[in-house]
A and B are shown apart, each in its own frame.
Chain A
Amino acid sequence: MFKILVVEDNEELNRSVCSFLNRSGYEATGCLCAEDAYDAMYSNVFDLIVSDVMMPEIDGFEFAKTVRSLNEDIPILFMTALDDFASKQRGYRVGIDDYMVKPIDLDELFLRIGALLRRSKIASSRRLSVGDFSMDIDEHTAYWRGEEIALTLREFNLLYKLLSYPKRTFTRTQLMDEFWDADTQASTRTVDVYMTKLRAKLSECDSFSIVTVHGLGYKAVIK
Protein backbone atom coordinates (compact mmCIF):
# COMPACT_ATOMS: atom_id res chain seq x y z
CA MET A 1 0.00 0.00 0.00
CA PHE A 2 1.25 3.48 -0.85
CA LYS A 3 1.99 5.76 2.07
CA ILE A 4 1.05 9.41 1.71
CA LEU A 5 2.06 12.31 3.94
CA VAL A 6 -0.45 15.16 4.19
CA VAL A 7 0.89 18.48 5.52
CA GLU A 8 -1.90 20.99 6.09
CA ASP A 9 -2.34 23.40 9.00
CA ASN A 10 -6.13 23.48 8.85
CA GLU A 11 -7.16 20.59 11.06
CA GLU A 12 -10.51 19.92 9.43
CA LEU A 13 -9.17 19.94 5.90
CA ASN A 14 -6.27 17.76 6.99
CA ARG A 15 -8.63 15.27 8.57
CA SER A 16 -10.98 15.17 5.58
CA VAL A 17 -8.17 14.68 3.07
CA CYS A 18 -6.59 11.95 5.20
CA SER A 19 -9.82 10.04 5.73
CA PHE A 20 -10.64 10.32 2.02
CA LEU A 21 -7.22 8.94 1.07
CA ASN A 22 -7.48 6.18 3.66
CA ARG A 23 -10.83 5.11 2.25
CA SER A 24 -9.42 5.26 -1.29
CA GLY A 25 -6.86 2.61 -0.54
CA TYR A 26 -3.87 4.66 0.57
CA GLU A 27 -2.29 4.94 3.97
CA ALA A 28 -2.35 8.64 4.82
CA THR A 29 -0.60 10.37 7.72
CA GLY A 30 -1.61 13.93 8.61
CA CYS A 31 0.75 16.58 9.95
CA LEU A 32 -0.28 20.09 10.96
CA CYS A 33 3.05 21.76 10.34
CA ALA A 34 6.34 21.21 8.53
CA GLU A 35 8.17 20.42 11.79
CA ASP A 36 5.81 17.51 12.49
CA ALA A 37 6.23 16.40 8.90
CA TYR A 38 10.02 16.26 9.26
CA ASP A 39 9.56 14.11 12.40
CA ALA A 40 7.13 11.80 10.61
CA MET A 41 9.50 11.41 7.66
CA TYR A 42 12.31 10.56 10.04
CA SER A 43 10.58 7.44 11.26
CA ASN A 44 8.58 6.52 8.12
CA VAL A 45 9.13 6.17 4.40
CA PHE A 46 6.49 7.88 2.30
CA ASP A 47 5.68 7.45 -1.38
CA LEU A 48 4.14 10.87 -1.92
CA ILE A 49 3.65 14.20 -0.14
CA VAL A 50 0.59 16.44 -0.31
CA SER A 51 1.42 19.84 1.16
CA ASP A 52 -0.24 23.16 1.84
CA VAL A 53 1.75 26.31 1.04
CA MET A 54 0.66 28.97 3.51
CA MET A 55 1.58 27.49 6.89
CA PRO A 56 2.91 29.16 10.04
CA GLU A 57 6.68 29.25 10.55
CA ILE A 58 7.94 26.98 7.75
CA ASP A 59 5.91 27.50 4.57
CA GLY A 60 5.32 25.00 1.79
CA PHE A 61 8.03 26.38 -0.51
CA GLU A 62 10.69 25.98 2.15
CA PHE A 63 9.35 22.58 3.15
CA ALA A 64 9.37 21.34 -0.46
CA LYS A 65 12.87 22.69 -0.97
CA THR A 66 14.19 20.88 2.10
CA VAL A 67 12.45 17.63 1.15
CA ARG A 68 13.75 17.88 -2.41
CA SER A 69 17.32 18.38 -1.19
CA LEU A 70 17.04 15.14 0.80
CA ASN A 71 15.02 13.07 -1.65
CA GLU A 72 15.08 13.75 -5.38
CA ASP A 73 12.37 11.31 -6.36
CA ILE A 74 9.44 11.63 -3.99
CA PRO A 75 6.45 13.25 -5.73
CA ILE A 76 5.24 16.44 -4.05
CA LEU A 77 1.79 17.88 -4.71
CA PHE A 78 0.89 21.36 -3.54
CA MET A 79 -2.67 22.17 -2.58
CA THR A 80 -3.04 25.87 -1.98
CA ALA A 81 -5.32 28.86 -2.23
CA LEU A 82 -2.65 30.77 -4.18
CA ASP A 83 -3.85 30.68 -7.77
CA ASP A 84 -1.53 33.18 -9.41
CA PHE A 85 1.06 32.11 -11.93
CA ALA A 86 3.99 33.48 -9.90
CA SER A 87 3.23 31.14 -7.00
CA LYS A 88 2.87 28.16 -9.32
CA GLN A 89 6.16 29.02 -10.96
CA ARG A 90 7.85 29.35 -7.60
CA GLY A 91 6.45 25.98 -6.55
CA TYR A 92 7.65 24.16 -9.66
CA ARG A 93 11.03 25.83 -9.32
CA VAL A 94 11.60 24.40 -5.86
CA GLY A 95 10.83 21.01 -7.35
CA ILE A 96 7.18 20.11 -6.80
CA ASP A 97 5.44 17.76 -9.23
CA ASP A 98 1.85 18.95 -9.24
CA TYR A 99 -0.23 21.90 -8.10
CA MET A 100 -3.89 22.07 -7.10
CA VAL A 101 -5.80 25.22 -6.19
CA LYS A 102 -8.12 25.18 -3.17
CA PRO A 103 -10.91 24.39 -2.82
CA ILE A 104 -9.75 21.08 -4.19
CA ASP A 105 -11.94 18.39 -5.63
CA LEU A 106 -11.13 15.19 -3.74
CA ASP A 107 -11.88 12.99 -6.75
CA GLU A 108 -9.43 15.00 -8.81
CA LEU A 109 -6.87 14.74 -6.02
CA PHE A 110 -7.29 10.95 -6.18
CA LEU A 111 -6.72 10.92 -9.95
CA ARG A 112 -3.68 13.14 -9.73
CA ILE A 113 -2.12 11.12 -6.92
CA GLY A 114 -2.66 7.96 -9.00
CA ALA A 115 -0.93 9.55 -12.00
CA LEU A 116 1.97 10.85 -9.89
CA LEU A 117 2.54 7.46 -8.29
CA ARG A 118 2.35 5.77 -11.66
CA ARG A 119 5.01 8.06 -13.09
CA SER A 120 7.21 7.70 -10.05
CA LYS A 121 6.92 3.91 -10.38
CA ILE A 122 7.91 4.14 -14.05
CA ALA A 123 10.82 6.38 -13.13
CA SER A 124 12.12 4.06 -10.42
CA SER A 125 11.62 0.79 -12.32
CA ARG A 126 12.97 2.32 -15.57
CA ARG A 127 10.26 0.45 -17.42
CA LEU A 128 6.87 1.46 -18.80
CA SER A 129 4.26 -1.14 -19.62
CA VAL A 130 0.86 -0.80 -21.23
CA GLY A 131 -0.82 -4.15 -21.74
CA ASP A 132 1.51 -6.23 -23.91
CA PHE A 133 3.53 -3.18 -24.91
CA SER A 134 6.58 -2.18 -22.92
CA MET A 135 9.38 0.36 -23.11
CA ASP A 136 12.82 0.04 -21.58
CA ILE A 137 14.00 3.51 -20.66
CA ASP A 138 17.71 2.77 -20.27
CA GLU A 139 18.04 0.90 -23.55
CA HIS A 140 15.55 3.06 -25.46
CA THR A 141 13.84 0.01 -26.84
CA ALA A 142 10.17 -0.81 -27.26
CA TYR A 143 8.62 -4.29 -27.30
CA TRP A 144 5.27 -5.53 -28.51
CA ARG A 145 4.53 -9.08 -27.31
CA GLY A 146 8.22 -9.71 -26.80
CA GLU A 147 9.24 -8.50 -30.27
CA GLU A 148 11.30 -5.39 -30.57
CA ILE A 149 9.89 -2.42 -32.49
CA ALA A 150 12.59 -0.24 -34.02
CA LEU A 151 12.10 3.37 -32.97
CA THR A 152 14.37 6.34 -33.45
CA LEU A 153 15.39 8.19 -30.29
CA ARG A 154 12.98 11.02 -30.96
CA GLU A 155 10.11 8.65 -31.72
CA PHE A 156 10.88 6.78 -28.53
CA ASN A 157 10.90 9.99 -26.47
CA LEU A 158 7.64 11.24 -27.98
CA LEU A 159 5.88 7.94 -27.33
CA TYR A 160 7.32 7.71 -23.83
CA LYS A 161 6.00 11.19 -23.04
CA LEU A 162 2.51 10.44 -24.32
CA LEU A 163 2.32 7.12 -22.50
CA SER A 164 3.60 8.63 -19.25
CA TYR A 165 0.62 10.96 -19.24
CA PRO A 166 -2.17 8.87 -20.74
CA LYS A 167 -5.31 10.80 -21.79
CA ARG A 168 -3.53 14.12 -21.49
CA THR A 169 -3.29 16.08 -24.72
CA PHE A 170 -0.02 17.77 -25.63
CA THR A 171 0.09 20.56 -28.19
CA ARG A 172 2.58 20.35 -31.01
CA THR A 173 4.53 23.25 -29.55
CA GLN A 174 4.78 21.57 -26.15
CA LEU A 175 6.24 18.46 -27.79
CA MET A 176 8.56 20.48 -30.04
CA ASP A 177 9.88 22.48 -27.09
CA GLU A 178 10.79 19.29 -25.29
CA PHE A 179 12.25 17.12 -28.05
CA TRP A 180 13.64 19.50 -30.64
CA ASP A 181 16.42 22.05 -30.26
CA ALA A 182 15.27 25.52 -29.38
CA ASP A 183 16.76 26.95 -32.57
CA THR A 184 15.23 24.34 -34.85
CA GLN A 185 13.90 25.57 -38.16
CA ALA A 186 11.32 22.81 -38.32
CA SER A 187 7.68 23.86 -38.24
CA THR A 188 5.30 22.48 -35.66
CA ARG A 189 3.84 20.32 -38.44
CA THR A 190 6.97 18.16 -38.19
CA VAL A 191 5.32 16.62 -35.16
CA ASP A 192 2.52 15.39 -37.44
CA VAL A 193 5.06 13.54 -39.56
CA TYR A 194 6.49 11.82 -36.51
CA MET A 195 3.04 10.83 -35.30
CA THR A 196 2.19 9.29 -38.68
CA LYS A 197 5.42 7.28 -38.56
CA LEU A 198 4.75 6.17 -34.99
CA ARG A 199 1.23 5.06 -35.87
CA ALA A 200 2.54 3.05 -38.82
CA LYS A 201 5.16 1.32 -36.67
CA LEU A 202 2.63 0.57 -33.97
CA SER A 203 -0.15 -0.53 -36.32
CA GLU A 204 -0.32 -3.99 -34.76
CA CYS A 205 -0.26 -2.84 -31.19
CA ASP A 206 -3.80 -2.60 -29.77
CA SER A 207 -3.00 -1.77 -26.14
CA PHE A 208 -3.25 1.92 -26.82
CA SER A 209 -3.71 4.36 -29.64
CA ILE A 210 -2.40 7.81 -30.49
CA VAL A 211 -5.30 10.19 -30.99
CA THR A 212 -5.30 13.55 -32.76
CA VAL A 213 -7.39 16.08 -30.86
CA HIS A 214 -9.11 18.46 -33.27
CA GLY A 215 -5.93 19.83 -34.72
CA LEU A 216 -4.86 20.99 -31.27
CA GLY A 217 -2.48 18.21 -30.29
CA TYR A 218 -1.96 14.53 -29.54
CA LYS A 219 -2.69 12.15 -26.72
CA ALA A 220 -2.32 8.46 -25.97
CA VAL A 221 -5.47 6.57 -25.04
CA ILE A 222 -4.99 3.25 -23.27
CA LYS A 223 -7.56 0.65 -24.26
Chain B
Amino acid sequence: MSRDKRIRRVLKALNNFLIFFLLVGFIVSCCTMLFVEVMSRTMGLELTSENIAAAAKITMLNVILLTLLLTLCDIIRRRLTVDRPVKTILNAGRRLTGGDFTVRIDTKKMSALDDGFEEIAECFNKMAEELSHTETLRSDFVANVSHELKTPLAVMQNYASLLASPDLEEEKRVEYARGISDASRRLAALITNILRLTKLENQQITPSFEEYDLSEQLCECLLGFEDAWEKKGLEIETDIESDVSIRSDAEMMSLVWNNLFSNAIKFTESGGTVSLTLKTEGEYAVVSVRDTGCGISREVGERMFDKFYQGDGSRATQGNGLGLALVKRVIDITGSEISVESELGKGTTFTVRTRRS
Protein backbone atom coordinates (compact mmCIF):
# COMPACT_ATOMS: atom_id res chain seq x y z
CA MET B 1 0.00 0.00 0.00
CA SER B 2 1.36 3.40 -0.87
CA ARG B 3 2.19 6.00 1.76
CA ASP B 4 -0.53 8.29 0.49
CA LYS B 5 -3.15 5.65 1.00
CA ARG B 6 -1.96 4.84 4.51
CA ILE B 7 -2.04 8.49 5.54
CA ARG B 8 -5.51 8.83 4.12
CA ARG B 9 -6.60 5.79 6.10
CA VAL B 10 -5.26 7.17 9.34
CA LEU B 11 -6.88 10.54 8.66
CA LYS B 12 -10.17 8.82 7.99
CA ALA B 13 -9.95 6.85 11.26
CA LEU B 14 -9.18 10.09 13.13
CA ASN B 15 -12.09 11.76 11.44
CA ASN B 16 -14.40 8.94 12.51
CA PHE B 17 -13.03 9.10 16.01
CA LEU B 18 -13.73 12.83 16.21
CA ILE B 19 -17.29 12.39 15.02
CA PHE B 20 -17.96 9.61 17.48
CA PHE B 21 -16.31 11.63 20.24
CA LEU B 22 -18.52 14.63 19.63
CA LEU B 23 -21.56 12.41 19.42
CA VAL B 24 -20.86 10.44 22.59
CA GLY B 25 -19.77 13.65 24.39
CA PHE B 26 -23.02 15.35 23.40
CA ILE B 27 -25.22 12.44 24.50
CA VAL B 28 -23.40 11.87 27.78
CA SER B 29 -23.43 15.61 28.65
CA CYS B 30 -27.12 15.86 27.94
CA CYS B 31 -27.92 12.76 29.98
CA THR B 32 -25.73 13.80 32.92
CA MET B 33 -27.13 17.34 33.04
CA LEU B 34 -30.69 16.05 32.99
CA PHE B 35 -29.90 13.37 35.58
CA VAL B 36 -28.07 15.74 37.95
CA GLU B 37 -30.72 18.42 37.63
CA VAL B 38 -33.54 16.02 38.51
CA MET B 39 -31.53 14.40 41.32
CA SER B 40 -30.58 17.70 42.95
CA ARG B 41 -34.13 19.00 42.81
CA THR B 42 -35.88 15.94 44.24
CA MET B 43 -33.25 14.99 46.83
CA GLY B 44 -32.18 18.58 47.69
CA LEU B 45 -28.52 17.82 47.15
CA GLU B 46 -26.00 20.62 47.13
CA LEU B 47 -23.27 20.15 44.55
CA THR B 48 -19.90 21.59 45.33
CA SER B 49 -17.47 22.48 42.55
CA GLU B 50 -15.01 19.80 43.82
CA ASN B 51 -17.66 17.15 43.47
CA ILE B 52 -18.37 18.26 39.93
CA ALA B 53 -14.74 18.44 38.91
CA ALA B 54 -14.10 14.88 40.11
CA ALA B 55 -17.22 13.56 38.35
CA ALA B 56 -16.37 15.45 35.17
CA LYS B 57 -12.94 13.84 34.92
CA ILE B 58 -14.39 10.35 35.31
CA THR B 59 -17.13 11.09 32.79
CA MET B 60 -14.59 12.46 30.32
CA LEU B 61 -12.56 9.26 30.59
CA ASN B 62 -15.71 7.27 30.14
CA VAL B 63 -16.58 9.20 26.99
CA ILE B 64 -13.14 8.64 25.48
CA LEU B 65 -13.34 4.93 26.26
CA LEU B 66 -16.78 4.61 24.72
CA THR B 67 -15.68 6.51 21.64
CA LEU B 68 -12.69 4.22 21.18
CA LEU B 69 -14.92 1.19 21.47
CA LEU B 70 -17.38 2.60 18.94
CA THR B 71 -14.63 3.51 16.46
CA LEU B 72 -13.24 -0.01 16.71
CA CYS B 73 -16.65 -1.55 16.18
CA ASP B 74 -17.17 0.69 13.17
CA ILE B 75 -13.83 -0.31 11.65
CA ILE B 76 -14.62 -4.00 12.05
CA ARG B 77 -18.12 -3.56 10.63
CA ARG B 78 -16.67 -1.70 7.67
CA ARG B 79 -14.08 -4.39 7.02
CA LEU B 80 -16.74 -7.07 6.96
CA THR B 81 -19.58 -5.43 5.10
CA VAL B 82 -17.89 -2.97 2.77
CA ASP B 83 -14.19 -3.55 2.28
CA ARG B 84 -14.42 -7.28 1.72
CA PRO B 85 -17.10 -7.27 -1.04
CA VAL B 86 -15.45 -4.27 -2.66
CA LYS B 87 -12.19 -6.17 -2.70
CA THR B 88 -13.86 -9.24 -4.23
CA ILE B 89 -15.41 -7.11 -6.97
CA LEU B 90 -12.15 -5.27 -7.55
CA ASN B 91 -10.21 -8.51 -7.89
CA ALA B 92 -12.76 -9.90 -10.31
CA GLY B 93 -12.60 -6.67 -12.28
CA ARG B 94 -8.83 -6.90 -12.47
CA ARG B 95 -8.95 -10.49 -13.72
CA LEU B 96 -11.50 -9.51 -16.35
CA THR B 97 -9.29 -6.66 -17.52
CA GLY B 98 -6.44 -9.15 -17.71
CA GLY B 99 -8.44 -11.22 -20.21
CA ASP B 100 -9.91 -13.90 -17.95
CA PHE B 101 -13.52 -13.95 -19.12
CA THR B 102 -14.48 -16.96 -16.95
CA VAL B 103 -14.44 -14.94 -13.74
CA ARG B 104 -17.77 -14.69 -11.87
CA ILE B 105 -18.70 -13.23 -8.45
CA ASP B 106 -20.47 -15.44 -5.93
CA THR B 107 -23.79 -13.64 -5.49
CA LYS B 108 -24.75 -15.80 -2.47
CA LYS B 109 -22.01 -14.27 -0.36
CA MET B 110 -23.21 -10.86 -1.41
CA SER B 111 -26.86 -11.49 -0.62
CA ALA B 112 -26.15 -11.36 3.13
CA LEU B 113 -24.93 -7.81 2.71
CA ASP B 114 -26.62 -4.70 1.44
CA ASP B 115 -28.87 -5.07 -1.62
CA GLY B 116 -26.59 -2.86 -3.61
CA PHE B 117 -23.72 -5.33 -3.62
CA GLU B 118 -25.84 -8.19 -4.82
CA GLU B 119 -27.07 -6.08 -7.72
CA ILE B 120 -23.56 -4.98 -8.59
CA ALA B 121 -22.39 -8.59 -8.55
CA GLU B 122 -25.23 -9.71 -10.80
CA CYS B 123 -24.54 -6.88 -13.21
CA PHE B 124 -20.86 -7.74 -13.23
CA ASN B 125 -21.56 -11.39 -13.99
CA LYS B 126 -23.81 -10.44 -16.86
CA MET B 127 -21.13 -8.15 -18.26
CA ALA B 128 -18.50 -10.89 -18.02
CA GLU B 129 -20.87 -13.29 -19.79
CA GLU B 130 -21.42 -10.86 -22.68
CA LEU B 131 -17.71 -10.17 -22.97
CA SER B 132 -16.91 -13.85 -23.15
CA HIS B 133 -19.46 -14.18 -25.99
CA THR B 134 -17.87 -11.45 -28.07
CA GLU B 135 -14.49 -12.91 -27.28
CA THR B 136 -15.45 -16.33 -28.66
CA LEU B 137 -16.97 -14.68 -31.72
CA ARG B 138 -13.82 -12.72 -32.25
CA SER B 139 -11.48 -15.66 -31.82
CA ASP B 140 -13.68 -17.76 -34.13
CA PHE B 141 -13.52 -14.97 -36.66
CA VAL B 142 -9.74 -14.74 -36.39
CA ALA B 143 -9.40 -18.51 -36.72
CA ASN B 144 -11.66 -18.50 -39.77
CA VAL B 145 -9.96 -15.55 -41.37
CA SER B 146 -6.51 -16.98 -40.92
CA HIS B 147 -7.61 -20.31 -42.36
CA GLU B 148 -9.24 -18.68 -45.36
CA LEU B 149 -6.25 -16.41 -45.92
CA LYS B 150 -3.65 -19.11 -45.56
CA THR B 151 -5.23 -21.65 -47.90
CA PRO B 152 -4.85 -19.65 -51.11
CA LEU B 153 -1.41 -18.51 -49.95
CA ALA B 154 -0.36 -22.13 -49.52
CA VAL B 155 -1.72 -22.95 -52.98
CA MET B 156 0.28 -20.11 -54.49
CA GLN B 157 3.44 -21.16 -52.68
CA ASN B 158 3.10 -24.73 -53.88
CA TYR B 159 2.52 -23.76 -57.49
CA ALA B 160 5.39 -21.30 -57.34
CA SER B 161 7.82 -23.93 -56.15
CA LEU B 162 6.51 -26.31 -58.81
CA LEU B 163 7.11 -23.61 -61.41
CA ALA B 164 10.67 -23.23 -60.21
CA SER B 165 11.54 -26.80 -61.19
CA PRO B 166 13.59 -27.06 -64.42
CA ASP B 167 12.48 -28.79 -67.66
CA LEU B 168 8.81 -28.14 -67.06
CA GLU B 169 6.44 -29.03 -69.86
CA GLU B 170 4.73 -26.06 -71.40
CA GLU B 171 1.31 -27.47 -70.52
CA LYS B 172 2.20 -27.86 -66.82
CA ARG B 173 3.71 -24.42 -66.69
CA VAL B 174 0.52 -22.84 -67.94
CA GLU B 175 -1.54 -24.93 -65.51
CA TYR B 176 0.55 -23.90 -62.50
CA ALA B 177 0.54 -20.26 -63.50
CA ARG B 178 -3.23 -20.38 -63.82
CA GLY B 179 -3.40 -21.99 -60.38
CA ILE B 180 -1.46 -19.09 -58.91
CA SER B 181 -3.56 -16.46 -60.59
CA ASP B 182 -6.83 -18.16 -59.56
CA ALA B 183 -5.71 -18.40 -55.94
CA SER B 184 -4.58 -14.80 -55.85
CA ARG B 185 -7.85 -13.67 -57.38
CA ARG B 186 -9.72 -15.54 -54.65
CA LEU B 187 -7.52 -14.02 -51.99
CA ALA B 188 -8.15 -10.55 -53.39
CA ALA B 189 -11.91 -11.08 -53.36
CA LEU B 190 -11.73 -12.38 -49.81
CA ILE B 191 -9.71 -9.42 -48.57
CA THR B 192 -12.08 -6.99 -50.25
CA ASN B 193 -15.02 -8.64 -48.52
CA ILE B 194 -13.33 -8.76 -45.12
CA LEU B 195 -12.53 -5.07 -45.37
CA ARG B 196 -16.08 -4.24 -46.42
CA LEU B 197 -17.56 -6.29 -43.61
CA THR B 198 -15.26 -4.76 -41.02
CA LYS B 199 -16.17 -1.31 -42.26
CA LEU B 200 -19.87 -2.13 -42.06
CA GLU B 201 -19.57 -3.72 -38.63
CA ASN B 202 -17.71 -0.79 -37.18
CA GLN B 203 -20.34 1.44 -38.73
CA GLN B 204 -17.62 3.56 -40.25
CA ILE B 205 -19.93 3.80 -43.18
CA THR B 206 -22.98 5.67 -42.07
CA PRO B 207 -25.62 5.02 -44.66
CA SER B 208 -26.34 8.03 -46.82
CA PHE B 209 -30.00 7.74 -47.66
CA GLU B 210 -31.09 9.21 -50.93
CA GLU B 211 -33.97 8.58 -53.22
CA TYR B 212 -32.98 6.60 -56.30
CA ASP B 213 -34.38 4.45 -59.09
CA LEU B 214 -34.32 0.85 -57.90
CA SER B 215 -35.47 -0.56 -61.25
CA GLU B 216 -32.46 0.96 -62.96
CA GLN B 217 -30.06 -0.18 -60.25
CA LEU B 218 -31.28 -3.78 -60.57
CA CYS B 219 -30.85 -3.70 -64.36
CA GLU B 220 -27.34 -2.30 -64.10
CA CYS B 221 -26.26 -4.72 -61.38
CA LEU B 222 -27.64 -7.73 -63.26
CA LEU B 223 -25.93 -6.59 -66.46
CA GLY B 224 -22.63 -6.76 -64.58
CA PHE B 225 -23.04 -10.54 -64.72
CA GLU B 226 -23.72 -10.74 -68.45
CA ASP B 227 -20.40 -12.43 -69.18
CA ALA B 228 -20.90 -14.89 -66.32
CA TRP B 229 -24.33 -16.10 -67.43
CA GLU B 230 -23.31 -16.26 -71.08
CA LYS B 231 -20.26 -18.33 -70.22
CA LYS B 232 -22.41 -20.70 -68.16
CA GLY B 233 -25.29 -20.78 -70.63
CA LEU B 234 -28.03 -19.73 -68.21
CA GLU B 235 -31.48 -18.49 -69.08
CA ILE B 236 -32.28 -15.09 -67.62
CA GLU B 237 -35.84 -14.02 -66.98
CA THR B 238 -36.68 -10.53 -65.84
CA ASP B 239 -39.90 -8.90 -64.77
CA ILE B 240 -38.91 -5.51 -63.47
CA GLU B 241 -41.56 -2.91 -62.80
CA SER B 242 -40.14 0.34 -64.11
CA ASP B 243 -39.66 3.59 -62.22
CA VAL B 244 -39.75 2.16 -58.71
CA SER B 245 -37.76 4.41 -56.41
CA ILE B 246 -36.67 3.73 -52.87
CA ARG B 247 -34.95 5.84 -50.27
CA SER B 248 -31.82 4.01 -49.20
CA ASP B 249 -28.06 3.88 -49.56
CA ALA B 250 -27.54 2.99 -53.22
CA GLU B 251 -23.96 1.80 -52.85
CA MET B 252 -24.78 -0.50 -49.95
CA MET B 253 -27.87 -1.91 -51.65
CA SER B 254 -25.81 -2.71 -54.73
CA LEU B 255 -23.75 -5.01 -52.48
CA VAL B 256 -26.94 -6.89 -51.70
CA TRP B 257 -27.99 -7.31 -55.34
CA ASN B 258 -24.51 -8.21 -56.54
CA ASN B 259 -24.15 -10.90 -53.90
CA LEU B 260 -27.59 -12.36 -54.53
CA PHE B 261 -27.04 -12.41 -58.31
CA SER B 262 -23.58 -13.90 -58.05
CA ASN B 263 -24.87 -16.64 -55.72
CA ALA B 264 -27.80 -17.40 -58.01
CA ILE B 265 -25.49 -17.71 -61.00
CA LYS B 266 -22.87 -19.63 -59.06
CA PHE B 267 -25.26 -22.29 -57.78
CA THR B 268 -27.24 -22.84 -60.97
CA GLU B 269 -26.09 -25.51 -63.40
CA SER B 270 -25.79 -24.58 -67.06
CA GLY B 271 -29.15 -24.62 -68.81
CA GLY B 272 -30.84 -23.47 -65.60
CA THR B 273 -32.77 -20.28 -65.13
CA VAL B 274 -32.14 -17.24 -62.97
CA SER B 275 -35.02 -14.82 -62.67
CA LEU B 276 -35.28 -11.37 -61.22
CA THR B 277 -38.55 -9.67 -60.39
CA LEU B 278 -39.32 -6.30 -58.92
CA LYS B 279 -42.86 -5.59 -57.78
CA THR B 280 -44.51 -3.06 -55.57
CA GLU B 281 -46.74 -4.21 -52.72
CA GLY B 282 -48.32 -1.20 -51.06
CA GLU B 283 -45.57 0.67 -49.27
CA TYR B 284 -42.93 -1.88 -50.14
CA ALA B 285 -40.73 -2.64 -53.09
CA VAL B 286 -40.23 -6.39 -53.29
CA VAL B 287 -37.25 -7.84 -55.14
CA SER B 288 -37.04 -11.58 -55.74
CA VAL B 289 -34.03 -13.42 -57.09
CA ARG B 290 -34.92 -16.98 -58.04
CA ASP B 291 -32.67 -19.70 -59.32
CA THR B 292 -33.11 -23.31 -60.34
CA GLY B 293 -29.95 -24.35 -58.56
CA CYS B 294 -29.16 -26.95 -55.93
CA GLY B 295 -31.27 -25.39 -53.17
CA ILE B 296 -30.52 -24.91 -49.50
CA SER B 297 -31.22 -27.43 -46.75
CA ARG B 298 -32.80 -26.39 -43.47
CA GLU B 299 -29.55 -26.67 -41.48
CA VAL B 300 -27.68 -24.61 -44.03
CA GLY B 301 -30.51 -22.12 -44.14
CA GLU B 302 -30.21 -21.46 -40.45
CA ARG B 303 -26.54 -20.64 -40.61
CA MET B 304 -26.05 -19.19 -44.07
CA PHE B 305 -25.91 -15.59 -42.89
CA ASP B 306 -23.01 -16.44 -40.55
CA LYS B 307 -19.58 -15.29 -41.48
CA PHE B 308 -17.45 -17.88 -43.28
CA TYR B 309 -20.22 -20.43 -43.29
CA GLN B 310 -20.43 -22.38 -46.51
CA GLY B 311 -23.19 -24.86 -47.11
CA ASP B 312 -21.23 -27.12 -49.37
CA GLY B 313 -17.56 -27.58 -48.61
CA SER B 314 -16.86 -28.81 -52.13
CA ARG B 315 -17.86 -25.43 -53.50
CA ALA B 316 -15.52 -23.65 -51.14
CA THR B 317 -13.26 -22.70 -54.02
CA GLN B 318 -15.96 -20.57 -55.55
CA GLY B 319 -16.61 -18.19 -52.71
CA ASN B 320 -15.42 -17.04 -49.35
CA GLY B 321 -18.48 -17.41 -47.18
CA LEU B 322 -18.79 -13.70 -46.55
CA GLY B 323 -21.28 -12.71 -49.22
CA LEU B 324 -24.48 -13.39 -47.32
CA ALA B 325 -23.01 -12.06 -44.07
CA LEU B 326 -22.47 -8.79 -45.93
CA VAL B 327 -25.97 -8.91 -47.33
CA LYS B 328 -27.49 -9.44 -43.89
CA ARG B 329 -25.49 -6.62 -42.42
CA VAL B 330 -26.58 -4.18 -45.10
CA ILE B 331 -30.19 -5.32 -44.79
CA ASP B 332 -30.03 -4.63 -41.05
CA ILE B 333 -28.40 -1.23 -41.43
CA THR B 334 -30.80 -0.05 -44.12
CA GLY B 335 -33.86 -1.37 -42.30
CA SER B 336 -34.94 -3.77 -45.04
CA GLU B 337 -36.05 -7.39 -44.72
CA ILE B 338 -34.76 -10.53 -46.35
CA SER B 339 -36.35 -13.95 -46.56
CA VAL B 340 -35.45 -17.21 -48.21
CA GLU B 341 -37.51 -20.00 -49.68
CA SER B 342 -35.75 -23.06 -50.89
CA GLU B 343 -36.29 -26.61 -51.91
CA LEU B 344 -33.37 -29.00 -52.22
CA GLY B 345 -32.61 -29.80 -55.83
CA LYS B 346 -35.24 -27.41 -57.14
CA GLY B 347 -33.93 -23.96 -56.43
CA THR B 348 -33.91 -21.01 -54.11
CA THR B 349 -35.71 -17.68 -53.96
CA PHE B 350 -34.35 -14.75 -52.01
CA THR B 351 -36.84 -11.96 -51.39
CA VAL B 352 -35.88 -8.50 -50.20
CA ARG B 353 -38.51 -6.03 -49.03
CA THR B 354 -37.67 -2.35 -48.79
CA ARG B 355 -39.88 0.56 -47.96
CA ARG B 356 -40.63 2.74 -50.98
CA SER B 357 -40.05 6.44 -50.88
Contact surface of A with B, Cβ cutoff 8 Å: 83-85, 103, 105, 169, 171-174, 187-188, 213-217
Contact = CB atoms under 8 A, between A and B. Distances in A.
A38 B179 CA distance: 39
Given A187-B242, A213-B223, A216-B240, 4 more contacts: A83-B192, A85-B251, A172-B219, A174-B220
Contacts of A187: 242
B219 A173 contact: yes
A171 B220 contact: yes
A125 to B, nearest CB: 29
B223 A171 contact: yes
Given A213-B226, A215-B240, A84 B251 contact: yes
B193 to A, nearest CB: 11
B171 to A, nearest CB: 20
B246 to A, nearest CB: 15
A216 B242 contact: no
B293 to A, nearest CB: 18
Contact of A103 (B184, B216, B222, B237): B184
A83 B220 CA distance: 18
A216 B240 CA distance: 9
14 contacts: A84-B251, A85-B251, A105-B185, A172-B219, A173-B219, A188-B242, A213-B223, A214-B237, A215-B238, A215-B240, A216-B219, A216-B222, A216-B223, A216-B240
Contact of B226 (A84, A85, A105, A169): A169
A115 to B, nearest CB: 14
B260 to A, nearest CB: 16
Interface of B: 184-185, 188, 192, 213, 215-216, 219-220, 222-223, 226, 236-240, 242-243, 251
Nearest to A88: B251
B26 to A, nearest CB: 75
B243 to A, nearest CB: 8
A43 B213 CA distance: 48
Given A188-B242, A214-B237, A103 B188 contact: yes
Contacts of B240: 215-216
A126 B338 CA distance: 50
B116 to A, nearest CB: 50
Contacts of A214: 236-238
B215 to A, nearest CB: 8
B181 to A, nearest CB: 8
A217 B188 contact: no
B238 A216 contact: yes
B89 to A, nearest CB: 46
Contacts of B220: 171, 174
A8 to B, nearest CB: 17
Contacts of B184: 103
A215 B220 CA distance: 12
Contacts of A83: 192
Contact of A173 (B185, B213, B237): B213
B242 A171 contact: no
B323 to A, nearest CB: 16
Contacts of B213: 173
A6 to B, nearest CB: 20
Contacts of A215: 238-240
A25 to B, nearest CB: 20
Contact of A171 (B185, B219, B237): B219
A85 B205 CA distance: 12
A171 B214 CA distance: 13
